[in-house]
Protein backbone atom coordinates (compact mmCIF):
# COMPACT_ATOMS: atom_id res chain seq x y z
CA UNK A 1 0.00 0.00 0.00
CA UNK A 2 1.34 3.40 -0.96
CA UNK A 3 1.69 5.89 1.86
CA UNK A 4 -1.03 8.52 1.98
CA UNK A 5 1.04 11.59 2.67
CA UNK A 6 4.62 12.59 1.96
CA UNK A 7 7.21 12.38 4.69
CA UNK A 8 7.62 16.16 4.76
CA UNK A 9 4.16 16.84 6.17
CA UNK A 10 4.61 14.09 8.71
CA UNK A 11 7.56 15.95 10.18
CA UNK A 12 5.41 18.48 12.01
CA UNK A 13 2.05 18.56 13.78
CA UNK A 14 -0.99 20.80 13.48
CA UNK A 15 -0.29 24.37 14.56
CA UNK A 16 -0.86 24.53 18.31
CA UNK A 17 -2.03 28.15 17.98
CA UNK A 18 -4.70 27.22 15.43
CA UNK A 19 -5.62 24.10 17.43
CA UNK A 20 -6.20 26.21 20.52
CA UNK A 21 -8.38 28.54 18.43
CA UNK A 22 -10.44 25.54 17.32
CA UNK A 23 -10.83 24.25 20.87
CA UNK A 24 -11.69 27.71 22.22
CA UNK A 25 -14.42 28.03 19.61
CA UNK A 26 -15.85 24.64 20.62
CA UNK A 27 -16.33 26.02 24.14
CA UNK A 28 -17.52 29.38 22.84
CA UNK A 29 -14.59 30.86 24.73
CA UNK A 30 -12.60 34.08 24.44
CA UNK A 31 -9.67 33.46 22.16
CA UNK A 32 -6.48 34.84 23.69
CA UNK A 33 -4.59 32.07 21.87
CA UNK A 34 -4.27 33.28 18.30
CA UNK A 35 -3.09 36.87 18.04
CA UNK A 36 -5.72 38.74 16.04
CA UNK A 37 -7.82 41.83 16.84
CA UNK A 38 -11.47 41.58 17.86
CA UNK A 39 -11.94 45.21 16.79
CA UNK A 40 -12.20 46.82 13.38
CA UNK A 41 -9.39 47.94 11.12
CA UNK A 42 -9.19 51.72 10.46
CA UNK A 43 -12.35 52.82 8.60
CA UNK A 44 -10.25 54.62 6.00
CA UNK A 45 -8.55 51.37 5.12
CA UNK A 46 -11.79 49.41 4.74
CA UNK A 47 -13.01 52.25 2.54
CA UNK A 48 -9.85 52.00 0.43
CA UNK A 49 -10.31 48.24 -0.02
CA UNK A 50 -13.96 48.65 -1.08
CA UNK A 51 -12.91 51.39 -3.44
CA UNK A 52 -10.16 49.21 -4.95
CA UNK A 53 -12.65 46.41 -5.64
CA UNK A 54 -15.03 48.84 -7.33
CA UNK A 55 -12.23 50.48 -9.27
CA UNK A 56 -11.44 47.19 -10.97
CA UNK A 57 -8.30 45.93 -9.20
CA UNK A 58 -9.59 42.42 -9.57
CA UNK A 59 -7.04 40.63 -11.73
CA UNK A 60 -3.53 39.43 -10.91
CA UNK A 61 -1.17 42.08 -9.68
CA UNK A 62 2.40 41.90 -10.93
CA UNK A 63 3.66 38.74 -9.28
CA UNK A 64 6.18 40.46 -7.01
CA UNK A 65 3.70 43.14 -6.03
CA UNK A 66 1.77 46.16 -7.19
CA UNK A 67 4.27 48.89 -8.18
CA UNK A 68 2.30 51.41 -6.12
CA UNK A 69 2.45 49.23 -3.02
CA UNK A 70 6.17 48.54 -3.46
CA UNK A 71 6.72 52.27 -3.80
CA UNK A 72 4.77 52.86 -0.59
CA UNK A 73 6.75 50.14 1.22
CA UNK A 74 10.02 51.77 0.13
CA UNK A 75 8.74 55.17 1.29
CA UNK A 76 7.84 53.82 4.74
CA UNK A 77 11.03 51.74 5.07
CA UNK A 78 12.98 54.99 4.64
CA UNK A 79 11.44 56.79 7.62
CA UNK A 80 10.52 53.83 9.82
CA UNK A 81 13.54 51.59 9.32
CA UNK A 82 16.25 53.90 8.05
CA UNK A 83 16.54 51.79 4.89
CA UNK A 84 17.07 52.97 1.35
CA UNK A 85 15.15 50.43 -0.70
CA UNK A 86 14.68 50.13 -4.46
CA UNK A 87 11.09 48.94 -5.04
CA UNK A 88 12.05 47.37 -8.37
CA UNK A 89 14.93 45.32 -7.10
CA UNK A 90 14.52 44.65 -3.39
CA UNK A 91 10.82 44.17 -2.62
CA UNK A 92 8.50 41.19 -3.10
CA UNK A 93 4.91 41.38 -1.87
CA UNK A 94 3.70 38.06 -0.45
CA UNK A 95 0.62 36.44 1.11
CA UNK A 96 1.48 37.63 4.59
CA UNK A 97 4.72 37.39 6.54
CA UNK A 98 4.06 33.64 6.72
CA UNK A 99 4.67 33.21 3.01
CA UNK A 100 7.48 35.77 3.18
CA UNK A 101 9.43 33.61 5.65
CA UNK A 102 8.74 30.42 3.70
CA UNK A 103 9.84 31.78 0.31
CA UNK A 104 12.91 33.37 1.88
CA UNK A 105 14.03 30.03 3.29
CA UNK A 106 13.15 28.22 0.05
CA UNK A 107 15.25 30.78 -1.82
CA UNK A 108 18.39 30.57 0.31
CA UNK A 109 18.58 27.21 2.10
CA UNK A 110 20.27 24.09 0.82
CA UNK A 111 19.30 20.94 2.74
CA UNK A 112 21.58 20.67 5.75
CA UNK A 113 22.34 24.38 6.00
CA UNK A 114 22.17 25.58 9.57
CA UNK A 115 19.93 28.38 10.75
CA UNK A 116 20.36 29.90 14.20
CA UNK A 117 17.20 30.85 16.07
CA UNK A 118 16.40 32.25 19.50
CA UNK A 119 13.99 30.26 21.60
CA UNK A 120 11.23 30.51 22.58
CA UNK A 121 10.26 31.16 18.96
CA UNK A 122 7.08 31.63 16.93
CA UNK A 123 5.94 28.14 16.01
CA UNK A 124 5.80 28.64 12.21
CA UNK A 125 9.59 28.85 11.98
CA UNK A 126 9.88 25.14 12.89
CA UNK A 127 7.86 23.80 9.93
CA UNK A 128 9.40 26.50 7.69
CA UNK A 129 12.82 25.10 8.52
CA UNK A 130 11.71 21.51 7.95
CA UNK A 131 10.11 22.30 4.59
CA UNK A 132 13.21 24.15 3.39
CA UNK A 133 15.63 21.54 4.75
CA UNK A 134 17.27 23.86 7.27
CA UNK A 135 18.79 22.47 10.44
CA UNK A 136 17.92 24.76 13.36
CA UNK A 137 20.44 25.67 16.05
CA UNK A 138 18.69 27.05 19.13
CA UNK A 139 19.91 29.75 21.47
CA UNK A 140 17.87 30.39 24.63
CA UNK A 141 16.58 33.75 25.75
CA UNK A 142 16.73 33.96 29.53
CA UNK A 143 13.12 34.57 30.52
CA UNK A 144 14.01 34.86 34.21
CA UNK A 145 15.62 38.23 33.50
CA UNK A 146 13.22 41.08 32.53
CA UNK A 147 15.57 42.06 29.67
CA UNK A 148 15.46 38.46 28.40
CA UNK A 149 19.09 38.44 27.29
CA UNK A 150 20.89 35.65 25.42
CA UNK A 151 24.30 34.35 26.33
CA UNK A 152 26.77 35.84 23.87
CA UNK A 153 29.12 32.89 24.18
CA UNK A 154 26.27 30.51 23.40
CA UNK A 155 25.28 32.56 20.35
CA UNK A 156 28.86 32.67 19.15
CA UNK A 157 29.16 28.90 19.59
CA UNK A 158 25.98 28.37 17.50
CA UNK A 159 27.62 29.98 14.46
CA UNK A 160 29.99 28.00 12.25
CA UNK A 161 30.95 27.27 8.65
CA UNK A 162 27.56 25.63 7.93
CA UNK A 163 25.56 28.60 9.25
CA UNK A 164 23.51 30.09 6.42
CA UNK A 165 21.34 32.45 8.43
CA UNK A 166 20.01 33.60 11.77
CA UNK A 167 16.32 34.30 12.27
CA UNK A 168 15.71 37.43 14.33
CA UNK A 169 12.22 38.43 15.44
CA UNK A 170 11.94 41.86 17.03
CA UNK A 171 9.65 42.81 18.72
CA UNK A 172 9.53 39.17 19.68
CA UNK A 173 6.68 36.69 19.66
CA UNK A 174 5.97 35.15 22.23
CA UNK A 175 7.93 37.18 24.84
CA UNK A 176 7.60 40.83 23.77
CA UNK A 177 11.37 41.32 23.92
CA UNK A 178 12.65 44.22 21.82
CA UNK A 179 16.22 43.55 20.77
CA UNK A 180 18.59 46.39 21.65
CA UNK A 181 21.02 48.05 19.27
CA UNK A 182 23.96 46.40 21.10
CA UNK A 183 22.39 42.96 20.77
CA UNK A 184 21.69 43.49 17.07
CA UNK A 185 25.23 44.77 16.53
CA UNK A 186 26.61 41.63 18.13
CA UNK A 187 24.37 39.45 15.92
CA UNK A 188 25.46 41.48 12.88
CA UNK A 189 29.13 40.98 13.73
CA UNK A 190 28.62 37.20 13.81
CA UNK A 191 26.76 37.32 10.47
CA UNK A 192 29.71 39.16 8.98
CA UNK A 193 32.29 36.89 10.58
CA UNK A 194 30.59 33.73 9.28
CA UNK A 195 29.19 35.14 6.02
CA UNK A 196 25.64 34.43 7.18
CA UNK A 197 22.34 36.15 6.45
CA UNK A 198 20.06 37.85 8.95
CA UNK A 199 16.42 37.01 8.29
CA UNK A 200 14.37 39.37 10.40
CA UNK A 201 10.65 39.23 11.12
CA UNK A 202 9.54 42.72 12.18
CA UNK A 203 5.76 42.47 11.97
CA UNK A 204 5.30 44.02 15.44
CA UNK A 205 7.62 46.98 14.75
CA UNK A 206 4.90 49.58 15.49
CA UNK A 207 3.64 47.97 18.69
CA UNK A 208 6.21 49.12 21.18
CA UNK A 209 6.15 50.44 24.77
CA UNK A 210 8.03 52.07 27.62
CA UNK A 211 10.45 53.99 25.44
CA UNK A 212 11.80 50.92 23.66
CA UNK A 213 13.10 51.58 20.14
CA UNK A 214 12.66 49.27 17.21
CA UNK A 215 15.82 48.85 15.18
CA UNK A 216 16.03 47.04 11.86
CA UNK A 217 19.19 44.97 11.67
CA UNK A 218 19.34 45.78 7.92
CA UNK A 219 20.06 49.42 8.86
CA UNK A 220 23.29 48.57 10.72
CA UNK A 221 26.54 49.24 8.86
CA UNK A 222 27.36 46.56 6.30
CA UNK A 223 24.11 44.65 6.91
CA UNK A 224 21.74 45.77 4.15
CA UNK A 225 23.03 43.29 1.55
CA UNK A 226 23.08 40.41 3.98
CA UNK A 227 19.65 40.97 5.50
CA UNK A 228 16.19 39.85 4.47
CA UNK A 229 13.56 41.95 6.25
CA UNK A 230 10.05 40.55 6.56
CA UNK A 231 7.00 42.59 7.39
CA UNK A 232 3.25 42.69 6.85
CA UNK A 233 0.08 44.73 7.10
CA UNK A 234 -1.58 42.32 9.55
CA UNK A 235 -0.51 43.70 12.91
CA UNK A 236 0.21 47.32 12.03
CA UNK A 237 -3.18 47.90 10.41
CA UNK A 238 -5.28 45.26 12.24
CA UNK A 239 -5.99 43.22 9.10
CA UNK A 240 -4.62 39.74 9.86
CA UNK A 241 -7.08 38.18 7.37
CA UNK A 242 -5.86 40.18 4.42
CA UNK A 243 -2.66 38.19 4.05
CA UNK A 244 -0.51 40.97 2.64
CA UNK A 245 3.14 40.94 3.61
CA UNK A 246 6.50 41.58 2.02
CA UNK A 247 10.15 40.75 1.79
CA UNK A 248 12.92 43.34 1.49
CA UNK A 249 16.05 41.54 0.31
CA UNK A 250 19.11 43.79 0.13
CA UNK A 251 20.91 41.42 -2.20
CA UNK A 252 19.19 41.55 -5.63
CA UNK A 253 20.17 37.91 -6.32
CA UNK A 254 18.34 36.81 -3.17
CA UNK A 255 15.43 39.05 -4.16
CA UNK A 256 15.25 37.25 -7.53
CA UNK A 257 15.26 33.86 -5.78
CA UNK A 258 12.49 34.98 -3.43
CA UNK A 259 10.43 36.23 -6.39
CA UNK A 260 10.75 32.91 -8.21
CA UNK A 261 9.69 30.84 -5.19
CA UNK A 262 6.81 33.27 -4.53
CA UNK A 263 5.63 33.26 -8.17
CA UNK A 264 5.27 29.50 -8.33
CA UNK A 265 3.78 29.13 -4.87
CA UNK A 266 1.07 31.78 -4.97
CA UNK A 267 1.44 34.00 -8.11
CA UNK A 268 0.62 36.97 -5.94
CA UNK A 269 -1.18 38.48 -2.99
CA UNK A 270 -4.76 39.79 -3.33
CA UNK A 271 -4.63 42.66 -5.85
CA UNK A 272 -7.33 44.95 -4.37
CA UNK A 273 -5.88 44.62 -0.89
CA UNK A 274 -2.46 45.58 -2.19
CA UNK A 275 -3.99 48.77 -3.61
CA UNK A 276 -5.64 49.49 -0.27
CA UNK A 277 -2.26 48.89 1.34
CA UNK A 278 -0.92 51.98 -0.43
CA UNK A 279 -3.33 54.09 1.63
CA UNK A 280 -2.29 52.34 4.85
CA UNK A 281 1.43 52.76 4.29
CA UNK A 282 0.90 56.49 3.84
CA UNK A 283 -0.91 56.93 7.16
CA UNK A 284 0.55 59.84 9.15
CA UNK A 285 3.09 59.16 11.89
CA UNK A 286 0.46 59.85 14.59
CA UNK A 287 -1.33 56.69 13.52
CA UNK A 288 1.59 54.57 14.72
CA UNK A 289 1.91 56.41 18.03
CA UNK A 290 -1.82 55.88 18.53
CA UNK A 291 -1.42 52.16 17.83
CA UNK A 292 1.24 51.73 20.51
CA UNK A 293 -0.79 53.81 22.99
CA UNK A 294 -3.86 51.69 22.36
CA UNK A 295 -1.92 48.47 22.87
CA UNK A 296 -0.19 49.77 25.99
CA UNK A 297 -3.59 50.20 27.65
CA UNK A 298 -4.53 46.64 26.68
CA UNK A 299 -1.21 45.28 27.89
CA UNK A 300 -1.53 47.00 31.26
CA UNK A 301 -5.12 45.79 31.65
CA UNK A 302 -4.24 42.16 30.91
CA UNK A 303 -1.10 42.24 33.05
CA UNK A 304 -3.21 43.32 36.00
CA UNK A 305 -5.91 40.75 35.29
CA UNK A 306 -3.44 37.88 34.93
CA UNK A 307 -1.43 38.88 38.01
CA UNK A 308 -4.63 39.02 40.04
CA UNK A 309 -5.54 35.54 38.82
CA UNK A 310 -2.19 34.14 40.00
CA UNK A 311 0.00 34.22 36.88
CA UNK A 312 3.58 35.47 36.99
CA UNK A 313 3.90 37.67 33.91
CA UNK A 314 6.80 38.82 31.78
CA UNK A 315 6.19 42.49 30.99
CA UNK A 316 6.41 42.82 27.19
CA UNK A 317 8.05 45.91 25.71
CA UNK A 318 6.66 45.19 22.26
CA UNK A 319 4.25 42.99 20.28
CA UNK A 320 0.91 41.91 21.80
CA UNK A 321 1.53 38.80 23.86
CA UNK A 322 2.13 38.13 27.53
CA UNK A 323 4.23 35.10 28.38
CA UNK A 324 3.38 33.83 31.83
CA UNK A 325 4.64 31.38 34.40
CA UNK A 326 1.94 29.07 35.75
CA UNK A 327 3.88 27.44 38.61
CA UNK A 328 1.48 28.91 41.19
CA UNK A 329 -1.33 26.69 39.92
CA UNK A 330 0.40 23.36 40.52
CA UNK A 331 -0.57 22.04 37.10
CA UNK A 332 1.47 19.10 35.75
CA UNK A 333 2.05 20.83 32.43
CA UNK A 334 1.10 23.67 30.11
CA UNK A 335 -1.09 21.60 27.78
CA UNK A 336 -3.23 20.26 30.62
CA UNK A 337 -3.42 23.77 32.05
CA UNK A 338 -4.62 25.31 28.76
CA UNK A 339 -7.21 22.60 28.31
CA UNK A 340 -8.57 23.15 31.82
CA UNK A 341 -8.47 26.91 31.33
CA UNK A 342 -10.69 26.71 28.28
CA UNK A 343 -13.03 24.09 29.77
CA UNK A 344 -13.41 25.73 33.18
CA UNK A 345 -13.13 29.43 32.32
CA UNK A 346 -13.77 29.65 28.57
CA UNK A 347 -10.46 31.39 27.91
CA UNK A 348 -8.09 30.17 25.20
CA UNK A 349 -4.30 30.51 25.54
CA UNK A 350 -1.26 28.84 24.00
CA UNK A 351 0.83 26.21 25.83
CA UNK A 352 4.40 27.45 26.29
CA UNK A 353 5.94 24.20 25.08
CA UNK A 354 4.88 24.98 21.50
CA UNK A 355 7.50 27.75 21.44
CA UNK A 356 10.43 25.51 22.41
CA UNK A 357 12.41 22.81 20.62
CA UNK A 358 12.43 20.88 23.90
CA UNK A 359 8.83 20.93 25.19
CA UNK A 360 10.09 20.51 28.77
CA UNK A 361 11.38 24.10 28.66
CA UNK A 362 7.84 25.47 28.26
CA UNK A 363 5.97 23.14 30.60
CA UNK A 364 5.23 25.87 33.14
CA UNK A 365 4.56 28.64 30.63
CA UNK A 366 1.47 29.87 28.83
CA UNK A 367 1.09 32.71 26.29
CA UNK A 368 -1.87 35.11 26.18
CA UNK A 369 -2.57 37.45 23.24
CA UNK A 370 -4.20 40.82 23.94
CA UNK A 371 -5.26 42.47 20.66
CA UNK A 372 -8.75 42.63 22.18
CA UNK A 373 -11.23 45.29 23.20
CA UNK A 374 -10.99 46.35 26.85
CA UNK A 375 -14.53 44.96 27.36
CA UNK A 376 -13.29 41.59 26.15
CA UNK A 377 -10.41 41.73 28.62
CA UNK A 378 -12.83 42.64 31.42
CA UNK A 379 -14.84 39.56 30.49
CA UNK A 380 -11.60 37.56 30.80
CA UNK A 381 -11.17 38.98 34.31
CA UNK A 382 -14.61 37.69 35.31
CA UNK A 383 -13.99 34.31 33.74
CA UNK A 384 -10.64 33.83 35.44
CA UNK A 385 -12.32 34.03 38.85
CA UNK A 386 -13.09 30.33 38.34
CA UNK A 387 -9.36 29.77 38.56
CA UNK A 388 -7.72 29.95 41.95
CA UNK A 389 -3.95 29.55 42.30
CA UNK A 390 -4.35 27.26 45.26
CA UNK A 391 -6.57 25.00 43.22
CA UNK A 392 -4.70 22.55 41.06
CA UNK A 393 -5.63 22.60 37.37
Which spans of this chain sit near ligand GLN (rule: CB under 6 A)? 17-18, 34-35, 122, 173, 369
Interaxial angle between packed helices 67-81 and 271-281, expressed in degrees from 0 to 180 and rounded to the nearest 10: 30
- Tell me the closest approach of the beta carbon of residue 320 to ligand GLN, in angstroms: 9
- Tell me the closest approach of the beta carbon of residue 96 to ligand GLN, in angstroms: 8
- Tell me the closest approach of the beta carbon of residue 17 to ligand GLN, in angstroms: 5
- Tell me the closest approach of the beta carbon of residue 243 to ligand GLN, in angstroms: 10
Closest residue to ligand GLN in the complex (CB):
35
Of residues 234 and 255, the one with the C-beta less far from ligand GLN: 234
- Tell me the closest approach of the beta carbon of residue 106 to ligand GLN, in angstroms: 18
- Tell me the closest approach of the beta carbon of residue 113 to ligand GLN, in angstroms: 25
With beta carbons less than 8 A apart as the criterion, state whether 86 and 290 touch. Answer: no
- Tell me the closest approach of the beta carbon of residue 103 to ligand GLN, in angstroms: 16
Measure the CA–CA gap between 356 and 123, rounded to whole angstroms.
Answer: 8
- Tell me the closest approach of the beta carbon of residue 270 to ligand GLN, in angstroms: 17
Of 98, 46, 63, residue with least CA distance to 243: 98
Measure the CA–CA gap between 204 and 119, rounded to whole angstroms.
Answer: 17
Three-state SS for the chain is CCCCCCHHHHCCCCCHHHHHHHHHHHCCCEECCCCCCCCCCCHHHHHHHHHHHHCCCCCCCCCCCCHHHHHHHHHHHHHHHCCCCCCCCCEEEECHHHHHHHHHHHHHCCCCCEEEEEECCCCCHHHHHHHHCCEEEEEEECCCCCCCCECHHHHHHHCCCCEEEEEEECCCCCCCCCCCHHHHHHHHHHHHHCCCEEEEECCCCCCECCCCCCCCHHHCCCCCCCEEEEEECCCCCCCCCCCCEEEEECCHHHHHHHHHHHHHHHCCCCHHHHHHHHHHHCCCHHHHHHHHHHHHHHHHHHHHHHHHHCCEECCCCECCEEEEECHHHCCCCHHHHHHHHHHHHCEECEEHHHHCCCHHHHCCEEEEECCCCHHHHHHHHHHHHHCCCCCCC
Of residues 56 and 241, the one with the C-beta less far from ligand GLN: 241
Of residues 250 and 351, the one with the C-beta less far from ligand GLN: 351
Of residues 17 and 85, the one with the C-beta less far from ligand GLN: 17
Of 121, 78, 371, residue with least CA distance to 229: 78
- Tell me the closest approach of the beta carbon of residue 122 to ligand GLN, in angstroms: 6
Of residues 87 and 174, the one with the C-beta less far from ligand GLN: 174
- Tell me the closest approach of the beta carbon of residue 49 to ligand GLN, in angstroms: 21
Of residues 34 and 376, the one with the C-beta less far from ligand GLN: 34
Phi, psi for residue 322 in degrees, rounded to 5: -120, 120
Of residues 90 and 299, the one with the C-beta less far from ligand GLN: 299
Of residues 17 and 247, the one with the C-beta less far from ligand GLN: 17
Of residues 19 and 114, the one with the C-beta less far from ligand GLN: 19
Of residues 122 and 329, the one with the C-beta less far from ligand GLN: 122
Amino acid sequence: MKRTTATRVGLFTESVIREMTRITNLYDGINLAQGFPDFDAPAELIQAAAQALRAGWNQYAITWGSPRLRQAIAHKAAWANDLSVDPDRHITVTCGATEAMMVTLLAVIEPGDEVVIFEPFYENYGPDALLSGAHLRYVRLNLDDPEMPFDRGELRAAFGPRTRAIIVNTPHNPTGKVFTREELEFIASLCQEWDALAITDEVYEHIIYDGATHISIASLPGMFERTVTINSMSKTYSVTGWRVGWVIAGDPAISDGVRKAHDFLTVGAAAPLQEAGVVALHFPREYYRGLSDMYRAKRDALLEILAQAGFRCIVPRGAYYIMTDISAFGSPDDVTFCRTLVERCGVGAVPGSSFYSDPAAGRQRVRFAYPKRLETLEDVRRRLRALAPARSV
